[in-house]
Amino acid sequence: MKTVKLGAALLVAATVFGTVAPAMAADEPLEKTTQGSLMVTRVGGMASGVVLGTPVAAGRETYKSYINFTEAAADKVGGKVGGKDNGPVCLVVSLVTLPAAVVVGSAKGLYYGVKNGVWGGFDRPFYKDSYSLGALEE
């Protein structure tokens, strides 16, 4: 008797929920459904892109800023003795440009890392550009 009541209850529940559950419309494309089902993958791609791509972008931008600042300062300070082609001039100038490059590179890296992680991680999850391994500037 209990199994009959349980079976009847399940049949009624399936009928009620089956009629209430949304059905795909005939004009709704399969692409929209596929893109909606990829939301978990896209959010994961965004999160991993921001978490892993931000330190990568900060390191790349710090290195690039360090080279650019050192060359520019060496040309200004030691222009008469060779500028950026003179090793001792670059060594002395790099004592000042290294802290500046760390600050500027970290700030730019934070911007590019988050931007690439969010936009690249959503459009193309787990792709090299979302981890700031591609081009940083457009």
Q: CB under 8 Å to 18, separation ≥6 — which residues?
A: none
Q: What is the pLDDT of residue 20?
A: 47
* Range of lowest pLDDT (22-26, 105-109, 132-136): 22-26
Per-range mean pLDDT, top range of 46-50, 79-83, 133-137: 46-50
Q: Tell me the pTM.
A: 0.68
37-50: pLDDT as tens digits: 778 888 888 899 99
Per-domain residue ranges of the chain:
39-131
Query: What is the spatial distance between Cα 117 and Cα 133, in angstroms, rounded to a whole number?
Result: 11
* Range of lowest pLDDT (7-11, 80-84, 127-131): 7-11
Please give the share of the chain, as a percent, with pLDDT higher than 70: 77
Written as one letter, the residue type at 10 is: L
Residues in the chain: 138
Closest C-alpha among 65, 46, 43 to residue 54: 46
